[in-house]
A and B are shown apart, each in its own frame.
Chain A
């Protein structure tokens, strides 16, 4: 699973990536091509690197940081050139220029990292010899042509060209032949360095990504996670950066929530507009951010590593596939059930399953889903408005309206009973009173009949 496959997950991952200030387009491509980490050691290692860069940003003066960022802006995607080099092709001037440009950048960046003790954190291979090959006059500037000093004959020809411009066409032909020979020779010499050049290119992208992630942690107030060892994930002060941003731009604030879940199913109930969906979105987002090595939007977190993440938000109609919202949802949940039979360490977050059908069948589907998934090696979090028997599931409820103000925090309850606050909330939203009052009368009548 690569980052680019999940970037449009409705959990809001794209927002985080859009806010990530990378210096080069190549780094962005590398990040999008990154495989999701499913190994605790690999995740630990990536946060170790991130931690070094976060400290670097905190402790280093602005000028030095800008110098490094400016260097990283110069990184270009020269993988095609490197591939040509690996395949022993003769590079043209533009490709040789690209190699030289990268080698000089890599050496400069390495020097900067060494000054801050970061050269061991991300290892940039030594490309001094590459520079020597492509800078025969030791000019130390990132420009390139087939220098006179590569070939005496070429040098003489060029002197003639400057003295007798009228003979240029003939002289150029001869010079081109000689240049071709020099290029072939240079490419041969550089061939051995192809792996080191490739590694340097990737290392520069890695540094760019790590710096951007570290800066983002600071700007968004994200935290470093602890890797869970007991299968439980615990979040304190959890928030959704995009929702928080939107609220704050309207002069409102986001109420962070605390939540934890383990390998037993978790059932979240609560009033409409109580933030249940936002909780699921945020948990999904956090799990992805964790397994792609980003900072986590919370005050303190411990997260369990998962191998697969499923986020079923329900209201996605699939017009292209000709599925109704109910059918699309059923297919998505079906995929979770199938995976639960073969795979381990799953995380499934399902928002109001079967919400679009009648309450009788809907409630039955949800209750049965809990039973079907009860024994799988997975963390399952469900939200619902249906009254169902929770069985083994842990039940959390949004506190809801307290003195006319929505309290979004989650409290543990011991039954699956759902709050009946829809009409109060509709009233608070100033929905047509005739409609709402009529609904209230109907409920009262039904209750009398029961």
Chain B
């Protein structure tokens, strides 16, 4: 498979499913099985509890994945105790999840484990840095594109997106919706000066005037209805630390002076704007850039929906590939 080699060019990869049953876990299994463990040190984890994967009652509902001997993995204490392989513990973190602390271990035999992981973005970044320190070449994150998750998959250098009939059973809708997410993932990075300027700002909305002076926006949150853009004739850039929503874009569009404005957000997961409005904004000359972005390596599809509906895999792959100009794979079929 061509994209396996491309993955190895990056030091981190997240695998993101657009919906349950879009084949994210299949994709993860597929990638893990093909990783060259003899030449690369690989570590794998999952983004905490994302609301879809862990059954809080039985605590074991999550699918097991197979690790090759020599791979490192991070999971919760509760899941670690259920492992079905021999492994060597290398770290127990201070960070608590509802399933206990996050532990990191090395698989000494091939076998199955249940994956869970750091519950927060900072915890995930800390873990990734820690893995780098102990000489790991590639960290793989089982990511969830869920609003419940505070950890964004955009912290990884590269990304694979899993989509499928579960996301939409109508092929055209599925292609359009997926293409929009791909468009967001591929948004350009803000220039370095702006990344350094906005990076430390965790809250609020800000704007830059033509001289590069940073000013806070009138309202504290970008969600507010009362936000207004008076006295911003010389505004070149707006930075939104939180979520970018329809209402905000509409207010920006309503202001003549802001037609050509550049809106900067943390990463693509912060954008909650409808595709139509987003395109109108860009068409009128506006720009949206991000502080953090991942290289989208490939898109995988699962043409089978959990309700039993099946899309034609070949046509789906072809249509989607045309729309996003990226390779699209149906892993089960291949």
Residues of A within 8 A of B (CB): 25, 76, 92-94, 97-98, 101, 142-145, 158, 161-162, 165, 168-169, 172, 175
> Using Cβ atoms and an 8 Å threshold, which residues of chain B touch A101?
92
Q: How far is the CA of A213 from the CA of B69 in the complex (A)?
A: 46
Decide: A168 near B109, CB < 8 A? Known: A76-B94, A94-B77, A94-B103: yes
- Which residue of chain A has its CB nearest to the CB of B80? A94
> Using Cβ atoms and an 8 Å threshold, which residues of chain A touch B111?
165, 168, 172
- How far does the Cβ of A412 sit from chain B's closest Cβ, in whole Å? 51
Cβ of B52 within 8 Å of any chain A Cβ, yes or no, is no
Question: Which residues of B in the span 74-96 have a Cβ within 8 Å of any Cβ on A?
Answer: 77, 80-81, 84-90, 92, 94
B92–A168 CB distance below 8 A? no
Residue pairs across A and B with Cβ atoms less than 8 A apart, 6 shown, are: A94-B80, A142-B90, A143-B90, A145-B89, A168-B111, A175-B86
> Using Cβ atoms and an 8 Å threshold, which residues of chain A touch B108?
145, 158
- How far does the Cβ of A143 sit from chain B's closest Cβ, in whole Å? 4
Q: How far is the CA of A72 from the CA of B309 in the complex (A)?
A: 57
- Which residue of chain B has its CB nearest to the CB of A76? B94
B94–A25 CB distance below 8 A? yes
When the two chains form the complex, which single residue of A76, A169, A172 contacts B92, counting CB atoms closer than 8 Å?
Answer: A76
- How far does the Cβ of B243 sit from chain A's closest Cβ, in whole Å? 31
- How far does the Cβ of B11 sit from chain A's closest Cβ, in whole Å? 22
With A162-B109, A168-B84 already in contact, 8 other A-B pairs whose C-beta atoms are closer than 8 Å = A94-B77, A94-B103, A143-B106, A145-B86, A145-B108, A165-B109, A168-B109, A172-B85
Interface residues on B, range: 20 to 34
When the two chains form the complex, which single residue of B80, B84, B89, B94 contacts A172, counting CB atoms closer than 8 Å?
Answer: B84
Q: How far is the CA of A101 from the CA of B90 in the complex (A)?
A: 9
- Which residue of chain B has its CB nearest to the CB of A93? B89
Q: How far is the CA of A98 from the CA of B93 in the complex (A)?
A: 11
B92–A162 CB distance below 8 A? no
A97–B89 CB distance below 8 A? yes
A145–B87 CB distance below 8 A? yes
> Using Cβ atoms and an 8 Å threshold, which residues of chain B touch A143?
88-90, 106
Q: How far is the CA of A98 from the CA of B91 in the complex (A)?
A: 9
Cβ of B110 within 8 Å of any chain A Cβ, yes or no, is yes
A94–B92 CB distance below 8 A? yes
> Using Cβ atoms and an 8 Å threshold, which residues of chain B touch A97?
89, 92
Decide: A162 near B89, CB < 8 A? Known: A25-B94, A94-B80: no
> Using Cβ atoms and an 8 Å threshold, which residues of chain A touch B106?
143
- Which residue of chain B has its CB nearest to the CB of A154? B86
Decide: A98 near B87, CB < 8 A? Known: A162-B109, A168-B111: no
A161–B109 CB distance below 8 A? yes
> Using Cβ atoms and an 8 Å threshold, which residues of chain B touch A94?
77, 80, 89, 92, 103
When the two chains form the complex, which single residue of A98, A142, A158 contacts B86, counting CB atoms closer than 8 Å?
Answer: A158
When the two chains form the complex, which single residue of B80, B81, B110 contacts A165, counting CB atoms closer than 8 Å?
Answer: B110
Q: How far is the CA of A142 from the CA of B104 in the complex (A)?
A: 12
A161–B86 CB distance below 8 A? yes
> Using Cβ atoms and an 8 Å threshold, which residues of chain B touch A93?
80, 89
> Using Cβ atoms and an 8 Å threshold, which residues of chain B touch A168?
84-85, 109-111
Which of B84, B85, B86 is the most central at the interface, judged by chain A CB atoms within 10 Å of its CB? Answer: B86
> Using Cβ atoms and an 8 Å threshold, which residues of chain A touch B89?
93-94, 97, 143-145
- How far does the Cβ of B133 sit from chain A's closest Cβ, in whole Å? 12
- How far does the Cβ of B268 sit from chain A's closest Cβ, in whole Å? 34
